[in-house]
Amino acid sequence: MKIIKLSGIAVIFSLFALCFSSCKSTKVSDKAPSQKEAAAETESAGNADAAAAGEEASENGMPVQAPARKEIENWVEARKPIPVSNGLVVLRYKKRVGSFNIAVRNSEDKLIPVFSTANEFTSSAFYLKSNNKIIKLINDGTVKPGYSLSEHGLRISYNVPGTAEVLLEFMIFPSEERGQSDMVKVTATVTNKTTQTRELALKAVLDTILGETNDFHFYTGAGMPVKHEVLYKKMENEKGIISRNPNAAMQMFFFGADCTAPEAVALGNYSTFNKNEWLPNMYSYRQFDSVFAYNNSAVEVVWPTFKLNPDESGKCIFYLAFGTDTEKLRGENYIYPPKDESEEDVETVEDVEEDDVVEAPSEHVAEVVPVQVEEVSAKEEKVEVQPQTEEEGEKEVVLPKKKFSKKKKTTINPNKFTDQQLTPEYVQSLLDRIIALEEDDPSLNRAEIFQLNAELDAILEVLGL
């Protein structure tokens, strides 16, 4: 009996030891891994995911590439007004007033400003509209500006107490891969800082100066000179506005890529924009120079209104491209990259559906692409053109089995004017007379101005200008 009891006690002790060992093993396995082990495990998992992605890419016939490393800008508060320089572009600013400017570095390492430098750069500015109140964000005692810098950019924050915060960001980058930096992406972000839904809008007035020493103040992207003040509602035809002289050039893009489509873009005398009006009051065929502001042109860009909830933001984007006496403007290839010829569809007469309407181009269209007719057979070469008269509402060009309906550009009869009236000298005399009447306030004759403008409009339409 004694032996049996001892054997039982031994079995109990062995079972207890086995249980204790099992419990200890469980506790060790539940212990959290060390940082090194966790890193190794994460790296292993990442390698596994990358391998899986590589296998999937290989199966789909795609090249296996390492993920691109995204550059992160290191923004530092600007304690001193240190310019940001990269490639051709130099960003400058005045901390006290919250202003900004951009200069181009030419082949002789000289800085050529593209915006006016007068009065601490304050003629170029962004404006905020809150409901019906217009606030110029620079040189305003109620607006608190702040600056931060990075290797490639400049940020300006405008705090409008109790209303909104506007963040203006300039980022320098190259238009071509492996090329020097020659472009700036401008992003303006407005945030509603009230406790209610608020309508907020942004606009910019850029006091350009390069064209003021040139024959013409501005050109379209196609190289057509802009000879008088003009207001554009859309910018897809112009492909940018150029301000240039023999030493430097700047092209402004408000349409294309990820640009925010504006409500209006106006080119005019700075005095036209330096008023407490949200949309500029433009006068037809008014010259850039006047008795009030000689040789002082500017660009005004107005973006659509945002309806923002509290702490909600709206964003406006546009681009600037720069050139020098030795470097050409290359920004257009970045904003409007050339299409692959193999993928480009060529429209012929046979591709046009019946009753398609081809509208006449607007006055400021920079380039008109003709419809190709190479596919028309010899039997179809004869084209009947219906003569246009003042009574007709439309002019039709009829092809066999196809009809094109084109809106009439004008109802003015060209025979109404003499050959002398259709000369550049006569047009210039009309312009000079209009300017003289506008400048002579004591004897201002509104009726004569309107009559001269109507005659000028009609002649320019007949000339196709």
DSSP H helices, 220-372, are 270-273, 331-335
| Cβ neighbours of residue 46 closer than 8 Å, sequence gap 6 or more | none
For 123, 187, 241, the CA distances from 236, given in Å and listed in that order, are: 27, 20, 11
Assess whether pLDDT exceeds 90 at residue 200: yes
pLDDT at 423: 78
**Mean pLDDT of the 136-147 span:** 94
* Strands of 217-334, DSSP E: 218-220, 225-226, 230-232, 241-244, 248-253, 264-269, 297-302, 306-308, 313-324
For residue 205, name the pLDDT band (cuts at 50, 70, 90): very high
Cα 106–chain centre separation: 24
pLDDT at residue 417 greater than cutoff 90: no
Token pair listed for 460: 């320019």
* pLDDT score at 229: 87
Tell me if 437 sits within 8 A of 456, measured CB to CB: no
Name the 3-class secondary structure at 316. strand
pLDDT in the model for residue 284: 58
- Average pLDDT on 427-453 reads 68
The per-residue DSSP string of 359-381 comes to PPPPTT-S--PPPB-TT--GGG-
Helix, strand or coil for residue 395?
Answer: strand
Mean pLDDT within 175-180: 92
Do residues 209 and 115 make contact, with C-beta atoms less than 8 angstroms apart?
yes
Work out the percent of the chain whose per-residue pLDDT is above 90: 40
What is the pLDDT, as a whole number, of residue 131? 87
| Two structure tokens written together for 396 | 């039709």
Cβ neighbours for 335, distance < 8 A, ≥ 6 positions apart:
239, 240, 253, 256, 257, 259, 319, 321
H or E segment and range at residue 49: helix 35-59
What does the pLDDT read at residue 452?
A: 76
Q: Which residues contact residue 459 at a Cβ distance below 8 angstroms, ignoring those fewer than 6 apart?
A: 417, 421, 422, 426, 427, 430
* pLDDT at position 435: 73
* Mean pLDDT within 153-172: 96
Cβ density class 323-338: b for 16+ within 10 Å, e for less: bbeebebbbbebbbee
Q: What is the CA angle 116-119-124, rounded to 5? A: 45
Q: pTM of the entire structure? A: 0.61
433 pLDDT band, cuts 50/70/90, is confident
Provide the residue count of the chain: 465
More confident residue, 126 or 37: 126
Q: Is the dihedral of CA 268, 271, 272, 276 positive or negative?
A: positive
Nearest C-alpha neighbor of 114 from the set 225, 245, 215: 245
Asked whether the predicted pLDDT for residue 190 surpasses 70, the reply is yes
Beta bridge partners of 202: 128
The larger pLDDT score, comparing residue 43 to residue 242, is at 242
Q: Is the pLDDT of residue 408 over 70?
A: no
Instruction: Check the CA dihedral 289-293-297-301 and report its sign.
Output: negative
More confident residue, 70 or 223: 223
Tokens of 362: 């607007």
pLDDT at 128 over 50: yes
